[in-house]
Structure 1
């Protein structure tokens, strides 16, 4: 198991510290849908990987209470249960995830002004077009193919570049390799000081600060411009919080979709090939995408942590003030009392209760709409264009990208 921190608010989940993201592990790890998580049971004492004593919460309704109870906070826990580096998304005190109270409400309200329902609706057509462009390129190149390099990376990068206004000409333009280098540095977990990582983070930070200033002088229809405008209108938003928000949305959102899509394809093609043909039905695909996001975590994280600011009655147990609470989203999403069918149930049917994969309450993931949309469009369009898509490497022989905030296949060799 792994670190007890999950930055679901910006779409990432931190995992056990490992060496470097570029390392791969052939057949050494199970796919994420086969990870063993603590069974749903009453809250009980545990010890986090960094030695911190905590109360482990695993039942669906108990975890839901933890995520929404204002007496359980994040603000002083940015290094508890983590690798302890402020380079980590979940360990940085400037992260939206690591704030509570008035500061969090102010920053969150600013973000919500950029993510209006009207704005999201306007983004959906070109997100679908970006997915279809990658499908067409895959078809044109022909089999065999690696779905990671040909699909699960290009799709979210195209969406990120367009969403953040980084796809044009001039100083704002990013290419996929550059963003990936910066993303790996930002989301790296564990290990000692790395000069290359430090240099990449400095470059990414400088680029983001300059980008914010350019958008302030010449705003456009992109998300960065919306965030800057909302922050300037509201006032009181620290510059480091705004910069880290843009950093997180650019890097974490991109990597989260890559991971979610890659792990969904591992499960569908590896264990549920009979379901593939059904994904041509958009309604079936919508339910399937939600079930996959619910049952397949992004990383092998055990829990997200909170601290009790007052005694809290939780699942028949009184948690004392000052205690750390570790809420396992993955255990809760597998609680048989709420989700009796588990991942083996019919993928084309609605969940029995809303997923906690994106958290709930004040820290609900602001990028949930994007992950859902890209996964839904990708699965439906891939299944429609490639009904005979199949893995050419057994799942147990796949290598995994390690050391970042997500775990996903390093390659997905396929044919059709």
Structure 2
């Protein structure tokens, strides 16, 4: 999801939303711009699945566009197609942006990437993830209970899709205590939006936010080094210190990305899923009380509904590579369209309109594949499943009170999510 780089949440893209507006120097940039009207993300047209062919990226870079499922899967897993040196290609990002920062795990390949990735995997052991699952479920249930106690009507964004991932993020990173590490939702969101913004050099306000977030993260890492706890930051610091050779900026940016992109990615994925379910598949909503149905539904929604209007990720060929019967020459940039691949009719003939309780016809590429597979995929999937099941169980009659076509959208650098989801029950 999300995403931010795939390694930390979601794949960044190369296409810009037609409704996106950028902040000016007079803006505070504490919230993304809202735009009316835009189609919901599940209705976005995608580039048809076809053989690789030449295209031009938004920044003018010539590239080969790859759209078919099996071709995109090959591109994402082929070691001859790398991310190194591409952090400024495709979009007008700045080094403050997760997708454009060379210190990001997403923008590394080869030995450096394998070393950092192996360090991260030591923090995300199956045993650790299993231990986190009960309190993720508890955080979701507490949010559901608070929603019920407040009563209808409600806005699911402020009452659910933001509080759930915030509670999980702060607990996971050890930022929910009473000490100097404690973060409130407004502060984290302010820093997150600055970090995930795209569009050139940061504004003065964004620059101040990024400096604050960076300083907070560096101090957090040092405190965890001196006094480790059971949180993820402590596990990452311990693994990095044991392995050695992990640059300080890479570790700091990893903590930044996991804190920010995981939070925002889940908010977007959950909000977009709720808009689709309540707006276009209301008959399916009560069925989500069944855990088995919820598992398949969550996977289908993560597969078919992108996180934002950006849908491609770029690689560079280090040698001639044949993809889908077309030879990509050495040095060429390749843009792999995840959105098109996940809707390739040759692989997913029924599309999003199929039975949401049925398993996918093939594994999703929403979290990438290969060396840059999203390390936070487990979290997005878990929060989506728990949120949909527990909310549908508590409120089987939940309904939208505003037509989908009239919803406003918050436009970030790599995500687009509903600004509000007005509901009643």
TM-score range with shorter-chain normalisation?
over 0.9
Alpha-carbon shift at residue 9 of structure 1 (Å): 18
Contact 1:57 1:325 in 2 (8 A): yes
Contact 2:2 2:265 in 1 (8 A): no
Contact 1:309 1:321 in 2 (8 A): yes
Alignment partners' CA distance in 1, 2:197 and 2:62:
25
Alpha-carbon shift at residue 404 of structure 1 (Å): 2.6
Alignment partners' CA distance in 2, 1:68 and 1:186:
27
Partner of 1:3: 3
Contact 1:15 1:299 in 2 (8 A): no
Q: Judging changes above 3 Å, is the alpha-carbon distance between structure 1 residues 253 and 65 closer, same or farther for their aligned structure 2 residues?
A: same
Q: Deviations over 1:156-207 (max 9, x none)?
A: 0000000000001111101101101100110112265411111110000000
TM-score normalised by the chain length of structure 1: 0.94
RMSD value, Cα: 3.4
Q: Deviations over 1:96-118 (max 9, x none)?
A: 00000000000000000000000
Alpha-carbon shift at residue 11 of structure 1 (Å): 19
Alignment partners' CA distance in 2, 1:239 and 1:288:
40
Alignment partners' CA distance in 2, 1:326 and 1:16:
24
Q: Judging changes above 3 Å, is the alpha-carbon distance between structure 1 residues 19 and 274 closer, same or farther for their aligned structure 2 residues?
A: farther
Alignment partners' CA distance in 2, 1:313 and 1:394:
46
Larger deviation, residues 192-201 vs 269-278 = 192-201
* Aligned partner (choices 105, 108, 113) of residue 117 of structure 2: 108
Contact 1:73 1:307 in 2 (8 A): yes
Contact 1:9 1:358 in 2 (8 A): no
Alignment partners' CA distance in 2, 1:82 and 1:203:
25
Contact 1:3 1:82 in 2 (8 A): no
Q: Deviations over 1:368-402 (max 9, x none)?
A: 00000000000000000001100111111000001
Contact 1:16 1:301 in 2 (8 A): no
Alignment partners' CA distance in 2, 1:310 and 1:18:
42
Q: Judging changes above 3 Å, is the alpha-carbon distance between structure 1 residues 203 and 93 closer, same or farther for their aligned structure 2 residues?
A: same
Contact 1:63 1:332 in 2 (8 A): yes
Alignment partners' CA distance in 2, 1:10 and 1:112:
32
Contact 1:279 1:383 in 2 (8 A): yes
Secondary structure, counterpart of 1:50 in structure 2: coil
Alpha-carbon shift at residue 302 of structure 1 (Å): 3.0
Alignment partners' CA distance in 2, 1:10 and 1:163:
32
Q: Judging changes above 3 Å, is the alpha-carbon distance between structure 1 residues 5 and 95 closer, same or farther for their aligned structure 2 residues?
A: closer
Alignment partners' CA distance in 2, 1:385 and 1:355:
29
Contact 1:190 1:403 in 2 (8 A): no
Alpha-carbon shift at residue 403 of structure 1 (Å): 3.3
* Aligned partner (choices 15, 19, 30) of residue 13 of structure 1: 19
Provide structure 1 residue ranges, at least 5 long, that are not aligned to the other structure: none
Alpha-carbon shift at residue 252 of structure 1 (Å): 0.3
Alpha-carbon shift at residue 22 of structure 1 (Å): 8.8
Q: Deviations over 1:202-247 (max 9, x none)?
A: 0000000000000000000000000000000000000000000000
Contact 1:310 1:322 in 2 (8 A): yes
Secondary structure, counterpart of 2:31 in structure 1: strand
Larger deviation, residues 296-305 vs 235-244 = 296-305
Secondary structure, counterpart of 1:55 in structure 2: strand
Q: Deviations over 1:118-168 (max 9, x none)?
A: 000000000000000000000000000000000000000000000000001
Q: Judging changes above 3 Å, is the alpha-carbon distance between structure 1 residues 400 and 25 closer, same or farther for their aligned structure 2 residues?
A: farther
Alignment partners' CA distance in 2, 1:293 and 1:96:
22
Larger deviation, residues 132-141 vs 398-407 = 398-407
Q: Judging changes above 3 Å, is the alpha-carbon distance between structure 1 residues 5 and 140 closer, same or farther for their aligned structure 2 residues?
A: closer
Q: Judging changes above 3 Å, is the alpha-carbon distance between structure 1 residues 149 and 279 closer, same or farther for their aligned structure 2 residues?
A: same
The aligned length equals: 414
Alpha-carbon shift at residue 405 of structure 1 (Å): 1.8
The runs of at least 4 consecutive aligned structure 1 residues that moved more than 2 Å come to 1-26
Contact 2:28 2:205 in 1 (8 A): no
Contact 1:16 1:300 in 2 (8 A): no
Alignment partners' CA distance in 2, 1:22 and 1:413:
26
